Amino acid sequence: MLPRVQRLARPDFTRDLDATVEEIQSLLDLAADVKRAPASYRSALAGKSIALLFEKPSLRTRMTFELAIQQLGGFALFDVGPIGVREPLKDVARNLDRWVSGIVARTFHQQTVDDLALWSSVPVINALSDMWHPCQALADMQTIQEHFGELRGLKLAFVGDGNNVASSLMLNATRLGMDFSIATPAGYELPASVAAMAESPIEMTNDAAAAVRGAHIVYTDVWTSMGDEHEAAARRSAFRSYQVNDDLLAQAAPEAIFMHCLPAHRGEEVTDSVIESSRSVVFDEAENRLHAQKALLLMLLA
């Protein structure tokens, strides 16, 4: 018999705020149970097909969603390319909801995810957009909880670009009782509209050492996100002093861990010595994408 699973109140997961704090906590508990006893859930999505619509290439997101759906007994259908170009997006959504039980979308623009949810009658999951990366943040919270036992009272420091990963991390951290600091170059801060959503005070600074000081988690991401390649040279110059290296990591708490959503540009945002150190949990994060996304699929579809 399938273990009892709490359903999300909202029909879609288009952004982090689509789940309440209580639902996130339940999801993290479920992800831990799925990881511990995967056989208990192997038929949870039997008979269900999920469409994966990817405008951006991916290793972790595609593989973990395909495996999650398969290991839960469902079937994944993958399509890559722009959404809503060959035919109107609203037509794409209304075709898919006649065939599949859910849609996972990895897009360039948040509006694409929102429009899919608007026009589709089946659940839509944001697998990444320009504004949010909620599935990554769920796996990150699971990884941190595994390592420290709890989340409340920990300090998470993000160093680098105030991008979609930073935005989702900030929302989840402040909602789950963590302190959050972020160090960015001037002009690359979190969007003001996103910072205003923080559920507790956050530290925003241009000083990487100040942000990292005393942190339990030091997190970074690539300096140039997919789609911003034309800015790569300017960004390398602006972010040069925001590299997570041994000297910067030494400012963190003695028990601090290093996190990165991957792929990493070693020698740019992080040194090889840090990402290969005993403090690095980047591959635990990557594994937990599978388990956190299984929990999300269960709470939307099981």
Catalytic annotation on 221? yes
What phi and psi, each to the nearest 5 degrees, are found at residue 266? Answer: -65, 135
**DSSP characters over 114-130:** HHHHHH-SS-EEEEE-S
Whether the CB-CB separation of 216 and 255 falls below 8 Å is answered with yes
Predicted confidence (pLDDT) at residue 155 exceeds the cutoff of 90: yes
> What's the predicted TM-score (pTM) here?
0.97
pLDDT value of position 236: 96
Find the helix or strand (DSSP H, E) in which 28 lies.
helix 21-36
135 part of the active site = no
Q: Are 301 and 4 in contact (CB under 8 A)?
A: no
Query: Which tokens hold the place of 101?
Result: 């039980």
Q: What is the pLDDT of residues 68-108, one digit of tens each?
A: 999 999 999 999 999 999 999 999 999 999 999 999 999 99
Structure-block tokens of residue 139: 């796996």
Q: How confident is the model at residue 67 (pLDDT cuts 50, 70, 90)?
A: very high
Local confidence band at 227 (pLDDT 50, 70, 90 cut-offs): confident
**Would the pLDDT of 123 be above 90?**
yes
- Whether 133 is a known active-site residue: answer yes
| pLDDT at position 225 | 86
Does the pLDDT value for residue 191 go beyond 90?
Answer: yes
pLDDT of 160 over the 80 cut:
yes
What is the average per-residue pLDDT within 169-181? 98
**Where do the domains of the chain lie, and which CATH numbers do they carry?**
16-133+287-301 (3.40.50.1370), 135-285 (3.40.50.1370)
d(CA 245, CA 239): 13
* Percent of the chain whose pLDDT exceeds 90: 97
Please choose, from the candidates 193, 162, 188, the residue with its C-alpha nearest in 3D space to the C-alpha of residue 180: 162
Predicted confidence at residue 278, as pLDDT, reads 98
Strands (E), 196-266: 203-205, 217-220, 257-260
- Dmax of the chain from CA atoms? 56
Concerning whether 106 is annotated as a catalytic residue, the answer is yes
* 136 carries an active-site annotation: yes
Q: Binning pLDDT at 50, 70 and 90, where does residue 139 land?
A: very high
Residue 58: what pLDDT?
Answer: 94
What's the rounded mean pLDDT across residues 222-245? 93
| Active-site entry in 15, 62, 260, 289 | 289
State the Cα–Cα distance between residues 34 and 39, nearest whole angstrom.
8
